[in-house]
Amino acid sequence: MKSTAVLLIDCPDRRGLVARVSGLLYEHGANILHADQHQDHELGLFFMRVEWGIGPADGGALDEVGGRGNRPADAFDGNFDLDGFRAAFAVLARELNMRWQLTSSARRPRVAIFCSQYLHCVADLLHRSSTGELDCEIPVIVSNHREVESLSGFYGIPFEYLPVTAAAKAESEARQMALLEQNEIDLVVLARYMQILSPAFVARYPAAIINVHHSFLPAFTGARPYHAAHARGVKLIGATSHYVTDLLDDGPIIEQDVARISHRDQVEDLVARGRDLERVVLARAVRWHLDRRILCYGNKTVVFD
């Protein structure tokens, strides 16, 4: 397998954008593998995802977010001059007022999983990672309970027990952020982590914290949505995976799914069926993020297929 690069773009819509981007890639010798685009005509915005081969899979390039300075990138020792293209594209991006992200698959994203007492989502993610379905490294699992410790040991992943109390919440969160820095974490996945993150924590990982909510948002927010759904007599239940923002359960939605229920179903039935939905929507959201298929704008997402 070869490593690939992915370019994600959003900018004001205008004629000739596809030609300008694809032309620059052609000039640099890119072999485009996938290309997709979307226009929001109401807002006059253009979105694009392009993926192309850059060289052997054992190359050394690191991810870079264009124009945002998250981290430097080593020169890629392969068939495509990724650094040269990055420099050339930066000029085009300034001209066309583009926000852009340029990443390489040569560096596998590093993911931290946070969970509490419910283990169905974290167990599913660990299985998918172990079978190669999720292309990432998971260097740490963090929990405010010990239930996941044996599961972490089974998969050989370090476990960090960091209890959270009202009196010591700030201290616990500071330890969490230090742990994420130490492990060079790119993505935080809240696999039924039943704690609210502070604005400072969320600001440290913009569009890089994925949560699963056991409800079809925006309906039935909060901690007991299945009970609320049962009391309301709904005929559909759902689950939602979204990016975390300062507003609880209000971040950009990545994926949702639903299941039909009836008057015969009790709260316990809703919870059991809902857990299957939670596994699926969280895994899809994480996979699409790792595949660099998501662009956020406003409080919405574009998810390229």
Q: Would you please indicate which residues are annotated as catalytic (active-site) residues?
A: 249
**CA gap 112, 114 in Å, rounded:** 7
In what helix (H) or strand (E) does residue 106 lie, and over which residues does it extend?
Answer: none
Q: Which of 169, 171, 168, 149 is nearest to 158 (CA)?
A: 149
d(CA 172, CA 184): 18
Q: Determine the Cα–Cα distance for residues 292 and 103; give it in Å rounded to an integer.
A: 8
Nearest to 142, CA basis, from 185, 100, 105, 108: 185
- Give the CA angle between residues 300, 254, 104 to the nearest 5°: 100
Q: Burial level of 57, CB count in 10 A (0-12/13-18/19+)?
A: exposed
Instruction: Tokens for 59, please give them.
Output: 């190359």
Assess contact for 59 and 3: CB atoms under 8 A. yes
Residue 297: what residue type? Answer: Y
Largest CA distance in the chain: 63
Closest-CA residue to 235 (of 277, 263, 213): 263
Two tokens, residue 58: 């054992």
* C-alpha–C-alpha distance, residues 304 and 5, integer Å: 15
